[in-house]
Amino acid sequence: MSDITLYHWEPNANSGKPMLALMEKGVPFTSHYIDMLAFDQHKPDYLAVNPQGTIPAMTHGDRVLVESTAIMEYVNDAFAGPDLMPGDAQDRWRVRWWMKFMDQWLGPSFSMIGWSVFVGPMVRKRDPEELAAAIDRIPLPERRIAWRKAINGSFGEAELAESRRRVALGIALLEAELGKRDYVGSDSYSLADINIFNSTYSLPLSQPDLAGRDKTPNIMRWLKRVYQREAVAKTWAMGRTDLAHRYSLIMEGID
């Protein structure tokens, strides 16, 4: 049995980043699925691993690692396999710039929109008292606020408008970047591609007014290139929700 256990939800966004990094490196790991929509991440068994109640988390022997991008860098440095960071110093800077851009600026906007149109409607079907109790168990106050907004559909129009503005700008910047090279930040596939892909894999479906064959040909070429990687197919085969079906639809649409 592997001495690596990855606690994750679906293979997209933050959970998908270390999943895909491990797959690309060829590192065997034990998958521990955390059903985010059932609030598994706030139950005692998982809080014993990560008291903050955020996913993903990874254990490597007696080490506990959290924060998805930091886990990816750990995986790349700790294990043999293809190097997912370029050798050139400027390329490494550019890769880290794009990862920070996604994690701190663009990713939260994708997340807010996703919570508003997907997570909230899925979860609010549950018993209200059960939901209230589950939210009260969330350790981080900012996450309690976000969950309440998602469940109640109370993200403000100004918040959503700002997220949509950032998404449009982020897509435009990514399209320009991918007009310079085949991959994000470097001429070779890297952690930046994993990071960005896991939040943009469904752009033609989720943002049809902003992305597609005609509007963003560079992004579409890059998506096809990433979709065709064996590690991506293996990672997405681990999905359990409609997100995995969405992946299949995109895969068919870019052939």
Q: Which of 240, 211, 15 has the alpha carbon at shortest distance from 111? A: 15
Range with lowest mean pLDDT among 29-38, 111-120, 151-160: 111-120
Q: What is the pLDDT of residues 132-171, one digit of tens each?
A: 888 889 898 988 888 888 777 778 889 889 999 999 999 9
Query: Considering the domain boundaries, does residue 41 fall inside one?
Result: yes
pLDDT value at 2 more than 80: no
Query: Considering the domain boundaries, does residue 69 fall inside one?
Result: yes
Are the C-beta atoms of residues 57 and 39 closer than 8 Å to each other?
no
Query: For the chain, what is the mean pLDDT?
Result: 91
Q: What is the CATH number of the domain that holds 41?
A: 3.40.30.10
Q: Is the pTM of this model over 0.85?
A: yes
Question: What is the residue whose two structure tokens read 């706030």?
Answer: 42
Q: Range of 48's domain?
A: 4-78
Amino acid identity for residue 194 in this structure: I
Mean pLDDT of 109-120: 79
Tokens of 156: 């403000």
Alpha-helical segments (H) within 140-206: 141-152, 157-177, 191-200, 203-206
Are the C-beta atoms of residues 100 and 46 closer than 8 Å to each other?
no
Query: Considering the domain boundaries, does residue 13 fall inside one?
Result: yes
Identify the pLDDT of residue 171. Answer: 97
